[in-house]
Amino acid sequence: MAAREGELPPSLQQQIIRLQQLQQTLNIILVERQRLESELLEVKNALQELERVTDAAIVYKAVGSVLVQSSREKLLQELNEKKELAETRLKILEKQEQRTRSQLDTLQKEIQSVLAEKKLS
């Protein structure tokens, strides 16, 4: 059964659906990346503040809505681990973003090519 005039072929419809899915995936990646960058900035700022105080200083960490006394060294260790984890996750997200952008670009070109051919015929 041939496609009616002005109707998109099923294969092209599927490509458009895939394009929309990739755009949604990219949006999710960008939101997560922004959240991670914000978290990383917060951790780096906390590390800078902790570096300024002496080992004898009394420091606290937030546990839910409660502040709990902790040692400076323990907090430094926890924050450095959190920083490393965030940096690793950020690198992974950047690779996913690049891959998704590349797939989007390729698919957009394919769709434009099919539409251009359809227009000519």
Q: Confidence band (pLDDT; 50, 70, 90) for 8?
A: confident
Q: Is 71 part of a structural domain of the chain?
A: yes
Total domains, the chain: 1
Indicate the DSSP class of residue 57: S
Nearest to 38 by CA among 103, 93, 105, 118: 93
Percent of the chain at pLDDT > 70 equals: 94
Q: Confidence band (pLDDT; 50, 70, 90) for 4?
A: low
Alpha helices by DSSP H, the chain = 10-52, 72-120
> Residue 6 above 70 pLDDT?
no
> Residue 1 above 70 pLDDT?
no
Q: Is 2 part of a structural domain of the chain?
A: no
* Per-residue pLDDT reduced to its tens digit, 71-117: 999 999 999 999 999 999 999 999 999 999 999 999 999 999 988 88
What is the model's pTM? 0.82
Q: Is 57 part of a structural domain of the chain?
A: yes
Provide the domain limits for residue 41: 13-120
CATH code of residue 33: 1.10.287.370
Length of the chain: 121
Which string of b and e fits 81-99 if b means at least 16 CB within 10 Å?
Answer: ebbeebeeebeebeebbee
Q: Is 1 part of a structural domain of the chain?
A: no
Q: Is 17 part of a structural domain of the chain?
A: yes
Mean pLDDT of the chain: 92
